[in-house]
Chain A
């Protein structure tokens, strides 16, 4: 299993370390040296352990994790950071190369409802083959999501895509080590997934409409707008 360590956690650790060193009157030169060592080690850890498309959105993942954490503990959930995570993952991965074929397979399956039961395994294998031939990080996530969705009886492409985006957010935001996963209870994790579901459904609609989509531009829809009674961040007092 890949160990996903959000840059966020390490940066936070680093800031704590700076505060601690300041409190202990460590010289500036000593502090800089120690921080430099920590940064180099951090970067090495990231490059040695992560190295997939999700490792590129670890900072965004931190922000999204905070928004979700705020949401599950009774505050208002801001979907903007999560939408941005989806946008960036899609952008860095160059879309989901196997999706057009997977969608075709699902459409063909739905076109013959009489033979649905007989063709279930055949369809699952066709999806497996489509995703395997591309074999990118997102294709692997899609494979699990699409087959799981199909076997659960949700045969529409939208359902598969929605589960796919939910899994993307799960992987980039909820599951990484040192993030939400350790801090949330099982119930809160379930709530978090429910909270993100509308977002994943929205992204699924976009992807189904344009199977070759490389950028979802989802964050635009959730970006706070600057109005007469808001501040420059779009927040209303």
Chain B
């Protein structure tokens, strides 16, 4: 065995320990909430969120490629053995094979899971649902443009309240998400907000010491949606992700497997539905109503409200925790370019987003070339069959949890979707391609600021 190997346990108090040479090493603690939106979670609902949070936390603390220089051919793969204490171990033991399949698809790691009893947890008295009646729809809300535009579009047709479920990692993100919800409410969307804490507390590892890939993140979002839907007695919950974002075709041949995130991939959603059916008695199912839309079309669906949303919805890969202006976008990461393409395609308004457009070591002309290359590849693969040969995981698009579409409709729909997307990219790059100024060399910049003898020259 040459992959990076880890063994973890999560005990009944939510303490995550890494088992190294037989002794436990503290990795952090998580406190899974007992209620969502004022509704007390049942044991099975609590378990679902707890397991997903535990797996994500382990995914963050277990770094890839820690085996040393001699074994560099296994840079991505990890072998993770995890034991989690839950309220209903029987249900989770039954769900283990599907959960492993799901995790392996999302992360490209090898997982070994086992569940033990946590001896039960104390449950609060159930509280009444705040609005008096259950919401019409439960939806995942990240604070990004997709989910905000989706909420706005769905809100226009909804007869009741939409409950937006959000994973909250830090206070800055929480404030931004709250602002986005308030802006949506101001635009007439009847929505409630259910933030759920997703942070790992007391972790001895610094931000840069943690694994940045976090490929199991999607599982936590889906688990929160399913548990909330079950708690408020709604049959299904929605993800407002465009089909292009769901399938996430690799940008180039260098991107393999889970290196392109599978967080909302049709196969992920399908496997998650199976997990949910096993571990939750009410088995709420995930739905993707915008699966056959490009992000540009999703933005178009938001119509007049898009301009306001762009001021509060953040898309940048940089995150928003360390910037003076949290809404400033780098403009050149793949997420920013994707956003720009969509807003350009929606053609609704002048984009008010602040884009820095300065090349860095991580983002620059390369990302623009990636999109250019992707558009060309998509044009060269117009049919579903050809798309499958480009990215084999596209074949799972027929598993997408749509309520109405048949398999053949989905095949045609997905092929059309990517042709429209290629058109959006081409249109953006030909008319509004960002111009990147030549970088000021670091030493030049330093000399200008630190030069003590400039006057003597």
Q: Which residues from chain A sit less than 8 Å from chain B, CB to CB? A: 1-5, 17, 34, 45, 51-53, 55-56, 92-94, 121, 124, 132-133, 135-138, 140-141, 143-144, 147-149, 151-152, 166-167, 170-171, 174-178, 181-182, 186, 189-190
Q: Which residues of A contact B443 (CB under 8 A)?
A: 17, 34
Q: Which residues of A contact B256 (CB under 8 A)?
A: 140-141, 143-144, 167, 171
The residue among B73, B256, B389 with the most chain A CB atoms within 10 A of its own CB is B73
Q: Which residues of B contact A152 (CB under 8 A)?
A: 385-386, 388-389
The residue among A34, A51, A166, A174 with the most chain B CB atoms within 10 A of its own CB is A51
**Residue from A52, A151, A181 within 8 A of B76 (CB atoms):** A52
Contact across chains for A2 and B257 when beta carbons are under 8 A apart = no
Known pairs A152-B389, A175-B253 / 10 extra A-B pairs, C-beta < 8 Å: A2-B75, A92-B72, A135-B110, A136-B2, A140-B257, A143-B256, A143-B257, A148-B389, A148-B390, A171-B253
Known: A176-B254, A178-B366. A140 touches B73 (CB 8 A): no
Contact across chains for B253 and A138 when beta carbons are under 8 A apart = no
Q: Which residues of A contact B366 (CB under 8 A)?
A: 177-178, 181-182
Q: Which 6 pairs show the lowest CB-CB distances between chains A and B?
A: A152-B389, A52-B75, A135-B77, A175-B254, A93-B73, A147-B392
The residue among B250, B254, B259, B391 with the most chain A CB atoms within 10 A of its own CB is B254
Q: Which residues of B contact A181 (CB under 8 A)?
A: 252, 366, 369-370, 373
Does B65 belong to the interface (CB within 8 Å)? yes
**B171 → A minimal CB distance (Å):** 28
Docked pose: A68 CA to B152 CA in angstroms: 49
**Residue from B109, B110, B254, B373 within 8 A of A4 (CB atoms):** B254
Q: Which residues of A contact B255 (CB under 8 A)?
A: 1
Docked pose: A177 CA to B252 CA in angstroms: 12
Does B203 belong to the interface (CB within 8 Å)? no
The residue among A94, A136, A143, A174 with the most chain B CB atoms within 10 A of its own CB is A136
Q: Which residues of B contact A92 (CB under 8 A)?
A: 72-73
Does B323 belong to the interface (CB within 8 Å)? no
CB interface residues, B 215-259, toward A, < 8 Å? 250-257, 259
The residue among A135, A143, A170 with the most chain B CB atoms within 10 A of its own CB is A135
Q: Which residues of A contact B253 (CB under 8 A)?
A: 166-167, 170-171, 174-175
Q: Which residues of A contact B173 (CB under 8 A)?
A: none
Q: Which residues of B contact A144 (CB under 8 A)?
A: 256-257, 391-392
Docked pose: A136 CA to B78 CA in angstroms: 10
Question: Could you jot down 9 A-B contacts, CB within 8 Å?
Answer: A1-B250, A3-B362, A135-B110, A137-B74, A166-B253, A170-B252, A171-B253, A181-B370, A186-B376
Q: Which residue of A lies closest to B257 (CB)?
A: A140
Q: Which residues of B contact A51 (CB under 8 A)?
A: 65, 72, 75
**A128 → B minimal CB distance (Å):** 8
Contact across chains for A94 and B73 when beta carbons are under 8 A apart = yes
Docked pose: A175 CA to B366 CA in angstroms: 9
**A40 → B minimal CB distance (Å):** 14
**Residue from B108, B385, B395 within 8 A of A132 (CB atoms):** B108
**A209 → B minimal CB distance (Å):** 22
CB interface residues, B 345-366, toward A, < 8 Å? 361-362, 365-366
The total of interchain contacts (Cβ-Cβ below 8 angstroms) comes to: 112
Q: Which residue of B lies closest to A193 (CB)?
A: B253
Known: A132-B108, A137-B76. A171 touches B254 (CB 8 A): yes
- Determine the main DSSP class of A at the interface with B: helix
Q: Which residues of B contact A174 (CB under 8 A)?
A: 253
**B253 → A minimal CB distance (Å):** 4
**Residue from A143, A149, A175 within 8 A of B252 (CB atoms):** A175
Docked pose: A17 CA to B446 CA in angstroms: 14
Contact across chains for A148 and B391 when beta carbons are under 8 A apart = yes
Contact across chains for A1 and B260 when beta carbons are under 8 A apart = yes
**A106 → B minimal CB distance (Å):** 14
**A72 → B minimal CB distance (Å):** 15
Q: Which residues of A contact B370 (CB under 8 A)?
A: 181
**Residue from A1, A147, A182 within 8 A of B251 (CB atoms):** A1
Contact across chains for A45 and B361 when beta carbons are under 8 A apart = yes
Contact across chains for B74 and A132 when beta carbons are under 8 A apart = no
Does B3 belong to the interface (CB within 8 Å)? yes
Does B328 belong to the interface (CB within 8 Å)? no
Q: Which residues of A contact B369 (CB under 8 A)?
A: 181-182
Known: A135-B77, A175-B254, A178-B366. A151 touches B389 (CB 8 A): yes
Docked pose: A148 CA to B385 CA in angstroms: 10
Q: Which residues of A contact B388 (CB under 8 A)?
A: 148, 151-152
Q: Which residue of A lies closest to B446 (CB)?
A: A34
Q: Which residues of B contact A93 (CB under 8 A)?
A: 73
Docked pose: A126 CA to B16 CA in angstroms: 35
Q: Which residues of A contact B109 (CB under 8 A)?
A: 135
Q: Which residues of A contact B3 (CB under 8 A)?
A: 135
**Residue from A3, A137, A189 within 8 A of B373 (CB atoms):** A189
Q: Which residues of A contact B362 (CB under 8 A)?
A: 3
Contact across chains for A135 and B252 when beta carbons are under 8 A apart = no
**A48 → B minimal CB distance (Å):** 9
**A17 → B minimal CB distance (Å):** 7
Docked pose: A174 CA to B254 CA in angstroms: 9
Docked pose: A94 CA to B77 CA in angstroms: 16
Docked pose: A55 CA to B72 CA in angstroms: 9
Does B83 belong to the interface (CB within 8 Å)? no
**A205 → B minimal CB distance (Å):** 21
**Residue from A3, A34, A148, A176 within 8 A of B392 (CB atoms):** A148
**A13 → B minimal CB distance (Å):** 9
